[in-house]
Structure 1
């Protein structure tokens, strides 16, 4: 069982490594998802919690509308003594009924207690598209899933920093230079509301 200083963010690294081992690209804190794992056309969402409860189940059910598979990750549950019923069995039964997967984390080890069932989420779902767009636009995994009260490194922030670095070179950013860096200069709010864009330069 986790100690008093244990937090949801402590679950992130082992869960991330678990899916990386399975061949997924993983990033934390993507569009209100604690963990997002993508492999080919498969989108997996994982919700992290210190304890199992209905709030966690509701969060998992909500993610089923935009993800192909949804898992709940919790610390290892203390087993009951002989002759006493373990809460793990009740948790697994509930997960199976709702199609949610269940991951148990002990230290750096992740055990799959219940596999997630395919949600048949619509590929054209607006929420799904937003998650994938944000996921693919990020240059790497710069956030720890399960954290609260901290600023996120989003694709927007990454592009804003990149534009500032490009503008620092000569005081402006041409659309051509932005495209070379992978940023649509004319559509970025920072350049739309400033004089960073040098539109008189060749395209």
Structure 2
């Protein structure tokens, strides 16, 4: 049941805190709701009809007053997280900002239900060094910028795809080749693994230790002609990596 104004959130959230022994006041020094229990630090709750960036900005601003800040909004239809996200995405975002989350679900014939989605505890972000190194490695393994940032549902020109395309190009230009020949021509130390895994099915073993191009490989060279034409200038001296995309 969609609410008309954010003020409709105030009463159920006030009741939630009062049931837990807090005294609650509304609109205290620009804070939508302030709850205090004894000598404990104040709790501040900022209210909005829906989860949005202005709500987060207000919450961050209130962190100057107390560590106990919640952002509150109406529970979206059918309990789904807003903006087509997952609730864990919303929780992770707010934890990184140091904010708690409260939702209110309204019913036609019973009292609203208040739920604390996450507490306002500081989030300690830990970098994944291995994942970071993979990003750096992939960056340096690419010979150029062949993708448009923000693209979706499109095949990306990864370093692995580019190295596979280089092998395909050489086979088209020179005929069947051995892993040793391809390694010398491309500088790709892992070319044997690339041919054996044959991730894109661009290659076929013609005889012992000799590989040639398949129809799929020919099609790929036509599809990525703008990349294949860069191989005409000389061999790629970069090393390979083992992942495929």
TM-score with structure 2 setting the length: 0.43
- For the residues of structure 2 that align with 1:16 and 1:95, how far apart are their CA atoms? 22
- For the residues of structure 1 that align with 2:11 and 2:51, how far apart are their CA atoms? 19
Gaps (5+ residues) in structure 2?
Answer: 107-111, 124-245
Paired residues, number? 114
CA shift at 1:42, angstroms? 1.7
CA shift at 1:79, angstroms? 4.4
CA shift at 1:100, angstroms? 0.4
- For the residues of structure 1 that align with 2:121 and 2:33, how far apart are their CA atoms? 17
Residue 65 of structure 2 is matched in structure 1 by 66
Change (3 A) 1:18 1:75: same
1:15–1:110 Cα contact (<8 Å) kept: yes
Residue 24 of structure 2 is matched in structure 1 by 26
Instruction: Please give the residue correspondences for 1:165-184 in structure 2 after superposition, counting only pairs within 5 Å.
Output: none
- For the residues of structure 2 that align with 1:16 and 1:38, how far apart are their CA atoms? 11
Structure 1 moving runs of 4+ over 4 Å? none
Instruction: Please give the residue correspondences for 1:140-179 in structure 2 after superposition, counting only pairs within 5 Å.
Output: none
Gaps (5+ residues) in structure 1?
Answer: 120-203
In the alignment, which of 14, 17, 27 is matched to residue 12 of structure 2? Answer: 14
Q: Secondary structure at the match of 2:76?
A: coil
2:45–2:72 Cα contact (<8 Å) kept: yes
Residue 116 of structure 2 is matched in structure 1 by 112
Change (3 A) 1:14 1:46: same
CA shift at 1:43, angstroms? 0.5
Larger RCO (CA under 8 A, 6+ residues apart): 1
1:69–1:118 Cα contact (<8 Å) kept: no
Change (3 A) 1:86 1:65: same
Instruction: Please give the residue correspondences for 1:63-142 in structure 2 after superposition, counting only pairs within 5 Å.
Output: 63-79=62-78, 86-107=85-106, 108-117=112-121
- For the residues of structure 2 that align with 1:62 and 1:20, how far apart are their CA atoms? 25
- For the residues of structure 2 that align with 1:57 and 1:79, how far apart are their CA atoms? 23
1:80–1:86 Cα contact (<8 Å) kept: no
CA RMSD of aligned residues (A): 2.2
Residue 46 of structure 2 is matched in structure 1 by 47
- For the residues of structure 2 that align with 1:17 and 1:36, how far apart are their CA atoms? 12
Change (3 A) 1:8 1:111: same
CA shift at 1:117, angstroms? 1.8
- For the residues of structure 1 that align with 2:44 and 2:6, how far apart are their CA atoms? 15
Residue 55 of structure 2 is matched in structure 1 by 56
